Structure 1
Amino acid sequence: MMEGKEEEAKTHIIIVPVAHVSKKSARLVEDTIRSRKPDLVGLELCRERLEALSRGGSRSMDLRTAISHPTSAILFAAQQLIGKWWQVTPGEEMMRALGAAAELQRPVALLDRPIGGIARDIERIPLREKIGMVFSPGLKLPGKKKMSLSQMMKPENLEKILGKLERDFPASYKVFVESRNRHMFGKMLLCNVDTVVAVVGAAHVPGLCRLAEESGENIKIEVVE
């Protein structure tokens, strides 16, 4: 956890890192919003993805995506398979966050880049790198067996995994992690409230903390575990 002095902090950002396919993540999101009662709830979503989730319609959204952006469709399908394996619906934590925010009558900010912009950037990733990602042996570190979801969520392992991702797939890292970190952090600053609960993928946590530290702004960052 990285935090400044509480009395000097202009904004308190409470980050809830989620695995997107974890029942524990979905419960943690709900409990944190209800207990902290923030001024604002920020979600790693754009309007298009929110509309698709609200319809319960990831299927209809991805038929369109598959036609216009095949790479995005492949990556989405992978997330669906992981969700089935862990017996949870991808996006459940975001729906839980929306429900908790509605209960408390708190506004919601959509923090992520529009899916169309991300899809266009995906198409610019070199073909060799796309193929490398598809056939990658998975999220594991050199000399170690493939990690469980709980192991991956540990900060020390997450930092190493992200470092490996950046080295092995630099263009993909910029699209999926770096550009979105900057976009989400910028939107949180523009919200201009005292307390934000930000529900974001665990992969974005180290970058968001780093951006807050480097920003020179009076920000307190707290990561809920």
Structure 2
Amino acid sequence: MIREIGDRIILAGVAHVLPQSKEEVERLIIEKKPRFVGVELCRKRYFELISNPNSREKKFEFSRAGILAYILSYLQERIGKKTGMLPGEEMLAAVKGANEIQANVVLLDRNIDITLQRLLDKMSIFEKVQILFSILLLPFQSGEKIKLEDVTHEEVVEKLISSFKEFSQTAYTVLIEERNKYMADRIWEILNSNSGKILCVVGAGHVPGLARELESRFEEKEISMKKD
């Protein structure tokens, strides 16, 4: 999923375990030649990927957020084994591509520990139990209605986001909405303090909301300029 906003922002929506996403990122960097390449990583996840790019070992931290991070990482790797691509390879491809064209790499995401802790703090007991059972049952579920290769298609993404919101409003708010705003802040900061294009590589589920957030800022800026 590719969405261009204005003449300087390109949002590349990827599926974190699909080889096609990695190839698309590599193609876009060569084609668009951005001055900045933003990636959906925080400093912690960035350095973990850079230091162990080929490792399947998952670090375990004995805390509520650490346990949740471990489980989510494990599930992503189970899916990655089916597709033949480790989670995060598309982000590494973006970093490598940026270095090859001498573009600046921008870390867009909020610290993963803060996000997971906020999720645990805000969820009700019912939501925690509901999500825990869903996570535990996921590896045994079959007959998926949506093919993995379709998860970057716009209509499919909107459907998945809607289903996720219905499943848990709290999880949707913390994992999607809050991070969209955080990443929009980072993109807006770069946009207003530098020149050149910025290509942002983010999960496909973030593209619709992130695009709306950025478009609204352009509208507000235009209204403000007309008033002045």
TM superposition score category, shorter chain reference: 0.7 to 0.9
Alpha carbons 2:22, 2:90 under 8 Å: kept? yes
Alpha carbons 2:60, 2:66 under 8 Å: kept? no
Q: Residue 95 of structure 2 aligns with which residue?
A: 98
Alpha carbons 2:177, 2:209 under 8 Å: kept? yes
Alpha carbons 1:66, 1:73 under 8 Å: kept? no
What is the identity, as a one-letter code, of the residue corresponding to 1:180? R
Q: CA deviation at 1:17?
A: 0.9
Q: Residue 79 of structure 1 aligns with which residue?
A: 76
> Where in structure 2 are the equivalents of 1:7-46 lying within 5 Å?
9=6, 12-46=8-42
Alpha carbons 2:17, 2:83 under 8 Å: kept? yes
Alpha carbons 1:13, 1:198 under 8 Å: kept? yes
Whole-Å Cα distance in 1 between the matches of residues 178 and 171 of structure 2?
10
Q: Residue 129 of structure 1 aligns with which residue?
A: 127
Stretches of structure 2 lacking an aligned partner (at least 5 in a row): 223-228
Q: Residue 212 of structure 1 aligns with which residue?
A: 214
Instruction: Name the TM-score, length of structure 1 as normaliser.
Output: 0.83
User: What is the RMSD of the two structures over their aligned residues, measured on CA atoms?
Assistant: 2.5
Q: Which residue of the other structure, out of 46, 60, 63, is the alignment partner of 1:63? A: 60
Q: Identity of aligned pairs, percent?
A: 34
Query: For residues 113-164 of structure 1, what are the alpha-carbon distances to aligned partners after superposition, in whole Å with 9 as ceiling and x for unaligned?
Result: 01121121122222322332343476xxxxx952101233221121122112
What is the identity, as a one-letter code, of the residue corresponding to 2:188? L
Specify the SS of the correspondent of 2:208.
helix
Which structure has more relative contact order (CA 8 Å, sep 6+)? It is 1
Stretches of structure 1 lacking an aligned partner (at least 5 in a row): 139-143, 220-225
Whole-Å Cα distance in 1 between the matches of residues 107 and 82 of structure 2?
28
Alpha carbons 2:60, 2:67 under 8 Å: kept? no
Q: Which runs of 4+ in 1 moved over 4 A?
A: 1-4, 57-61, 65-68
What is the identity, as a one-letter code, of the residue corresponding to 1:108? V
